[in-house]
C-alpha cells in the first residue's frame, strides 16, 4: 500500500503514520517528494484496513497495490480450475452451453424444452423455481414444485440442472435437486447466502452484480471459496450503465480480463445481458470469440406465453442455429462445443 500525505504535512504526522503501520506489522518506507511525502508499505497489506490508514491525520489517500482477494487469484492458484458438472468440465477445452426457460412454468414445458436443448447441444438445463422479481405483483416461481420438475427433466434427458437459490435458508433444499446452484446478480453481495453456498459441495454459478466491480465480484467468489467449496464459476450478465438500447450493457472485455486475474471458469449470459432476442446469437458468438468457457441462454418454445422475460428468450429452433454458428466460432479459437 502507498500512503500519500497531504502537501505540507508536519513531520510528526508522518512519524505517527510510520509508527502506526510498524505496529500493524508492515515495513514503512518514507519518500519525501518535492510536493508530497509518500509512505510505501512492505508486507501483506490485506491485513490492514485502507479506511483505517485514510483516517490518520495528514493522510490524503491510500493506494492499494495488491489485489484484495487471494484464493480466487491466479497469482496464488496458477492452474485454471475446471468445475465438473455431471461429467462435463467447465473451464476445459469444451465450451458448455446451459439452456432452458427463464422460469419453470409446468412439468411438460420443462421436460419438452430439456429434450430440445439437449438435442441441440446443451450440457445443462437452466430454469428458475425461485425467482427474484422486481415487483411483488409478478409471478414468483413454482418453488419446490419447480425443482421437482427440473429433477424429472434431468431424469428424462441426462442434462444437469442449474437453478437459482435466493436465500441461505433455501440452500439445503435447492442443493438436493440441483447440480449447480446459481446465485443471481441481485444476491452477489448477499454474504449469508455466499457463505451457505460455500459450506455445501455443489458447484456454484456466481453472476456478476449489476454494478459490481471486478474486485467486488472476485471477493464475493472468495466468500464461497473460503468456506471450502472450490467449485465456483463466474457469469457476466450485463452491468447497468446509461445505455438504453439494451436492458443492460454486456461487458465482454471482462472475460479476457478475468482470465488474467483468476483461475475460475468464466461464463456469459447474453440473454439477460442484452435483454433483446435479436442480440442473443451475435453476442453468444462474441462471448466465445473472446474466451468464455460457457453460455447461459434462455430458450422457450412459445415466447408468447412465457411468464417472464419474453423479450429476450429465443425458441429452441433458434437455439439450434445459435449452437451451429457458435460451434464454428469455437473452432476458430481452438475450442470445442
Q: Which is nearer to a second copy, 16 or 115 (CB)?
A: 16
Stretch that binds a second copy, among 87-95, 114-122, 228-236, 325-333 (CB under 8 A): 325-333
Cβ 179 to a second copy, closest distance in Å? 23
Q: Is residue 94 a contact residue for a second copy (CB under 8 A)?
A: no
Q: Which is nearer to a second copy, 23 or 201 (CB)?
A: 23
Among 272, 215, 216, which residue's Cα sits nearest to residue 239? 272
Q: Is residue 10 a contact residue for a second copy (CB under 8 A)?
A: no
Q: Is residue 308 a contact residue for a second copy (CB under 8 A)?
A: yes
Q: Would the CA dihedral through 325, 331, 334, 335 be positive or negative?
A: positive
Q: Which is nearer to a second copy, 205 or 288 (CB)?
A: 288
Stretch that binds a second copy, among 83-91, 110-118, 199-207, 273-281 (CB under 8 A): 273-281
Cβ 265 to a second copy, closest distance in Å? 16
Q: Is residue 285 a contact residue for a second copy (CB under 8 A)?
A: yes
Binding to a second copy by CB under 8 A, coded x per residue (else -) over 202-241, reads: --------xx-xxxx--x--xx--x------------xxx
Q: Is residue 242 a contact residue for a second copy (CB under 8 A)?
A: yes
Q: Which of 256, 317, 321, 336 binds a second copy (CB under 8 A)?
A: 256
Query: HSE-up of 275 (CA within 13 Å, CB side)?
Result: 11
Q: Report d(CA 324, CA 150) in Å as an integer.
A: 26
Q: Which is nearer to a second copy, 111 or 219 (CB)?
A: 219
Is the CB of residue 280 less than 8 Å from the CB of residue 322? Answer: yes
For 101-129, b/e burial (b = at least 16 CB within 10 A) is bbbbbebebbbebbebbbebbbbbbbbbb
Binding to a second copy by CB under 8 A, coded x per residue (else -) over 19-58, reads: -x--------x-xxxxxx-x-x-xxx-x--x-xxxxxxx-
Is the CB of residue 110 less than 8 Å from the CB of residue 95? Answer: no
Q: Which is nearer to a second copy, 84 or 94 (CB)?
A: 94
Cβ 75 to a second copy, closest distance in Å? 6
Q: Is residue 119 a contact residue for a second copy (CB under 8 A)?
A: no
Cβ 85 to a second copy, closest distance in Å? 25
Stretch that binds a second copy, among 93-101, 114-122, 156-164, 283-291 (CB under 8 A): 283-291
Cβ 306 to a second copy, closest distance in Å? 6
Contacts with a second copy by CB under 8 A: the residue count is 108
Stretch that binds a second copy, among 121-129, 154-162, 172-180, 181-189 (CB under 8 A): 181-189
Q: Tell me which residues in 139-158 interact with a second copy (CB under 8 A).
A: 140
Q: Which of 155, 169, 172, 336 binds a second copy (CB under 8 A)?
A: 169
Q: Which is nearer to a second copy, 156 or 311 (CB)?
A: 311
Q: Is residue 68 a contact residue for a second copy (CB under 8 A)?
A: yes
Amino acid at each position: 500500500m502507498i500512503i500519500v500525505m497531504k502537501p505540507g504535512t508536519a513531520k510528526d504526522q508522518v512519524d505517527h503514520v510510520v509508527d502506526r503501520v510498524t505496529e500493524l506489522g508492515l515495513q514503512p518506507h518514507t519518500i519525501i517528494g518535492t510536493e508530497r511525502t509518500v509512505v510505501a508499505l512492505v508486507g501483506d497489506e490485506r491485513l490492514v484496513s485502507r479506511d483505517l490508514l485514510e483516517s490518520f491525520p495528514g493522510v490524503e489517500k491510500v493506494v492499494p497495490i495488491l489485489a484484495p482477494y487471494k484464493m480466487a487469484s491466479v497469482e496464488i492458484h496458477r492452474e485454471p480450475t475446471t468445475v465438473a458438472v455431471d461429467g462435463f468440465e467447465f473451464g476445459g477445452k469444451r465450451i458448455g452451453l446451459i439452456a432452458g426457460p427463464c422460469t419453470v412454468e409446468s412439468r411438460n414445458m420443462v421436460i419438452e424444452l430439456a429434450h430440445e436443448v439437449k438435442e441441440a447441444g446443451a450440457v445443462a438445463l437452466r430454469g428458475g423455481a425461485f425467482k427474484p422479481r422486481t415487483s411483488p405483483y409478478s409471478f414468483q416461481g413454482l418453488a419446490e414444485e419447480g425443482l421437482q420438475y427440473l429433477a424429472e427433466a434431468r431424469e428424462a434427458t441426462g442434462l444437469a440442472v442449474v437453478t437459482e437459490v435466493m436465500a441461505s435458508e433455501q440452500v439445503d433444499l435447492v442443493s438436493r435437486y440441483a447440480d449447480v446452484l446459481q446465485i443471481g446478480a441481485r444476491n452477489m453481495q448477499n454474504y449469508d447466502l455466499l457463505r451457505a453456498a460455500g459450506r455445501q459441495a455443489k458447484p456454484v454459478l456466481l453472476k456478476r452484480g449489476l454494478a459490481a466491480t471486478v474486485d467486488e465480484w472476485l471477493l464475493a467468489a472468495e466468500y464461497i471459496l473460503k468456506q471450502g467449496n472450490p467449485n465456483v464459476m463466474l457469469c457476466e450478465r450485463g452491468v447497468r450503465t446509461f445505455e438504453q438500447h439494451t436492458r443492460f450493457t454486456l461487458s465482454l472485455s471482462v472475460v479476457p480480463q478475468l482470465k488474467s486475474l483468476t483461475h475460475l471458469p468464466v461464463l456469459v449470459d447474453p440473454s439477460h445481458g442484452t435483454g433483446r432476442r435479436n442480440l442473443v446469437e451475435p453476442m453468444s458468438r462474441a462471448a466465445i470469440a473472446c474466451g468464455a468457457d460457457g453460455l447461459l441462454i434462455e430458450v422457450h418454445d412459445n415466447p408468447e406465453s412465457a411468464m417472464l422475460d419474453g423479450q429476450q428468450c429465443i425458441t429452441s429452433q433458434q437455439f439450434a442455429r445459435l449452437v451451429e454458428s457458435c460451434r464454428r466460432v469455437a473452432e476458430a479459437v481452438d475450442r470445442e462445443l
